[in-house]
């Protein structure tokens, strides 16, 4: 079986099914971005002001089969000058006010 970008042997999808699924995925992602781009832009501007540097940063992650990829994130911490650890605590001085706000949003959205 020849593998193309539109086949997924693990799921057993035909070429047509895989193409339709991919189109649905791309349209869904584009729709989500069209609806939320302004939130991302506002967060970037606020993070840029708050940290006095670029509001975005990239981070490497490990994906499927150990393949590395980069994630673009909003900067919510200042550089570690006086702290010699990478562990973040609740009252970590590196966390910006915007970072505290985002943290509060994250914790309240997960409560049941």
- pLDDT score for 23: 93
Band the pLDDT of 3: cuts 50, 70, 90: low
| Residue 104 in this model has a pLDDT that exceeds 70 | yes
Band the pLDDT of 53: cuts 50, 70, 90: confident
SS (H, E, C) 40-94: HHHHHHHHHHHHCCCCEEEEEEECHHHCEEEEEEECCECCCCCCCCCCCCCCCCC
What is the mean predicted confidence (pLDDT) over 13-30? 90
Mean pLDDT rounded to a whole number for the chain: 80
What is the mean predicted confidence (pLDDT) over 92-97? 80
- pLDDT score for 6: 52
Give 1 or 15, the one with higher predicted confidence. 15
C-beta separation of 99 from 76 below 8 A: yes
- pLDDT score for 112: 44
Give 48 or 78, the one with higher predicted confidence. 48
pTM of the model: 0.64
* Nearest of 26, 46, 49 to residue 38 by alpha carbon: 46
* Helix axis angle, 15-51 to 97-109, nearest 10°: 140
């Amino acid at each position: 079986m020849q593998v193309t970008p539109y086949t997924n042997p693990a799921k057993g999808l035909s070429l047509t099914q895989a193409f339709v699924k991919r189109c649905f995925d791309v349209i869904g992602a584009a729709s989500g971005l069209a609806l939320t781009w302004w939130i991302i832009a506002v967060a970037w501007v606020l993070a840029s002001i708050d940290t006095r540097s670029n509001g975005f940063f990239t981070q490497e992650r490990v994906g499927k089969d150990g393949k590395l990829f980069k994630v673009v994130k909003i900067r919510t911490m200042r550089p570690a000058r006086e702290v010699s650890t990478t562990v973040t605590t609740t009252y970590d001085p590196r966390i910006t006010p915007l970072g505290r706000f985002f943290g509060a949003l994250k914790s309240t959205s997960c409560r049941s």
